[in-house]
Amino acid sequence: MSKLLENKTAIITGATRGIGRGIAQTFARNGCNVAFTYSSSVEAAQSLEKELNELGVKAKSYQSNAADFGEAQALVDKVLVEFDSVDILVNNAGITKDNLLMRISEEDFDQVIEVNLKSVFNMTKAIQRTFLKQKSGSLIHMSSVVGIKGNAGQSNYAASKAGIIGFSKAIALELGSRNIRSNVVAPGFIETEMTEKLSEDVVQKWREGIPLKRGGAPEDVANACVFLASDLSNYITGQVLQVDGGMLT
């Protein structure tokens, strides 16, 4: 059986846990070489790197802060030396600092915008020259259903995730003529380490509000990313793919 991402190389930001980890694993299973970033969890990064290499692809972890413009550029330069080329960029790094508007601090607003939205600009700009040179590339930006419909207590997060959608659509228009595609994946309620902190009652209420009556798994999001990274989606750009079990239907 042929692998959908055979001989391709991807950069994935924030890949040591949750959705990012699921994307890295699923890409590797599909034959993709993976360069991934992490912010502080060295052991988790080394463990994932070993796991991916054992799948028969080339994988390497890089400690890098995508929210820093200079670090993003340096990261892409390092990856190009190690891997020669890059075909896919998955902008996945993100944080939350939830609070109602009356309680949210300027610092918490700024930090979420920096990490979630500015990192997408930084990384896309850093990889642009490579994609232009090779006249191909798939940009995949991780948004959220919250970026589409909003959510009380998440004004900073919603703004950052909505901003990603606007940014991606603009880049799809700018770079489409050079065969560079830019798409967004908007996950709904995905069950990861983060949701394990919620009580079972709360999680069950979430599930009941979803037409498919279950939370998603990181693999569900990863499979959508594989599609957008592969040649199966060659004529798809500027789109938002909701992976939400019908939550926003």
Active site residues: 157
Cα–Cα distance, 179 to 60 (Å, whole number): 27
Q: Residue 71, CB half-sphere, CA atoms under 13 Å: how many?
A: 15
Cα–Cα distance, 155 to 95 (Å, whole number): 13
CA distances (Å), origin 129, targets 45, 48, 164: 28, 29, 20
- For residue 36, what are the β-bridge partners? 12, 61
Cα–Cα distance, 60 to 12 (Å, whole number): 11
Name the token pair of 62: 């890089």
Asked if residues 65 and 71 have their Cβ atoms less than 8 Å apart, the reply is yes
Contacts for 17 with CB less than 8 Å, ≥ 6 apart = 41, 44, 192, 193
